[in-house]
Amino acid sequence: MTELVSTNPATDEVVAVLPVHTDEQVRAIVAQAREAAVWWRAQGYDGRRTALLAWKRHIVRHRGELVELMHRENGKPRIDATLELMLAIEHIDWNAKKAGKVLAPEKRKPGFLLANFSARVEHVPFGVVGVIGPWNYPIFTPNGSIATALAAGNTVVFKPSEHTPAIGRWYVEAFAAANPEAPVGVLSLITGYGETGAALCRAGVDKLAFTGSAATGSKVMAACAETLVPVVMELGGKDAAIVAADADIKAAADAIAFGAMANSGQTCVGIERVYVEAGVRDEFLAELTTAVSGIAPGSGPKASYGPMTMPSQIGIVRRHVEDAIASGGTAVVGGPESIGERYIAPVVILDPAHSSSAIQEETFGPTLTVTTVDSLDEAVKLANDVPFGLAGAVFSRGHAAEIVEQLDTSQISVNSVLGFAGMAALPLGGRGQSGFGRIHGPEGLREFTRTRAVATQKYPIPGVRLLSFGRAGWLNRFLPRLLGWLHGR
């Protein structure tokens, strides 16, 4: 197959036809990126800031084109595409302006034995970074790696999902249009299927960032391991919200409805599980039902969310819903009948078995389980008892801090959902089946650099040649006593 045909998930209309890059072509594009890396690194933080901000402005000025393309190729409503774009722009802006400060050389203390030295740590770009992006947030999510890696001084080769390649092409071409003086290869595009991603892993990149499922992430890691390419894995989630008895119940239900159903539930940091204290369970269910009742999928201007972008995901959603009900859960909103050929209406299931796939596996659809608990301790225990650890939410007026401290996850919103994703200064990443490494924030910038330790002798100490075969005899006799004096008392 030499062509990749991208279609509108709502209509099957052909959006774009792109090439499927061969292994040889991928290697050539990576080699081109390596040549461009010399120029890009030489621009320094100020030059890269100028280029990234020019890119940002170009995207914003042409946002109508991109939003329309996102609506057609991904299926999400235009307003959701606009919101996604706003978040991505915030991250480009933050990285462009903060990279120089975050990655500035750091002075370190040399210690007593080498007091005549100075010491510093430098943050050096890897060189060429490969990025394999997802389809659910085709701008915001890969941008979290791409803008960060570029700001840190790397060039980037980007493979967008085969479901949203035209969006990826637009994004890459926008950088070139905004920076005509930049050589080809600062930000490059490759398109294709899984084999193309595997070729990128083996094409000589110095680091690779992947966003997707744990199963695919394992394959990417295996390909990268062949040549010891380090990786950042931003994988799936099964994020839980805990609703305490002292929460603002109406506000919690409203936020959770959005966190669960927005983007057709196709959000790795979206809410898929709720644990609510028994005393407020009925009130919460009533408010949640009200909040969800006004939500409807579609492709028109009044749609709350669009179609399922990847058709194969519909079967997973159906299996999870059926399993939840078969395990003893009660459908309080929707049910198996909510699952159509392209669209899935909201589904809320009360108290399915904890062992059911609807609890233990990532669903990635507009569904939500609600589990009744007798205490916050039980809520925390159940929330942690899944193989994922990406994000979550806590709703409480007086117990949020203690709940947050006990949750074994990597990002948490308090009395809200998804707040961390909109803050460019906060890191994003996971644990367990949710992956490892960090994008966004200072931690993300450092993720795309390697450290270089530099120790400089400022002056010799007469008679004290510690790092020499010519050490004086008195010094050899003195060292054991010095060891005891420094560390044995």
DSSP class of residue 36? Answer: H
Please identify which of the residues 234, 272, 277, 287 carries the catalytic annotation: 234
- 464 sits in the region (left: phi over 0; alpha: psi -120 to 50; else beta) called beta
- Residue 359 tokens, joined: 């609890």
- Residue 119 tokens, joined: 């010491």
Across 87-160, the runs of DSSP E, i.e. the strands, are 106-108, 117-125, 128-132, 155-159
Cα–Cα distances in angstroms (integers) from residue 472 to residues 113, 122, 412, in the given order: 16, 34, 59
CA angle 336, 267, 427 (to 5 degrees): 155
Torsion of CA 135, 138, 140, 145, to 10 degrees: 80
Active site residue 341: no
Active site residue 201: no
> What is the spatial distance between Cα 487 and Cα 249, in angstroms, rounded to a whole number?
57
Total Cβ atoms within 10 A of residue 457: 12
Please identify which of the residues 268, 287, 361, 447 carries the catalytic annotation: 268
The residues near 83 (Cβ < 8 Å, ≥ 6 apart) are: none
DSSP class of residue 352? Answer: -
Strands 435-436 and 231-234: what pairing?
A: antiparallel
Q: Which residues are catalytic?
A: 234, 268
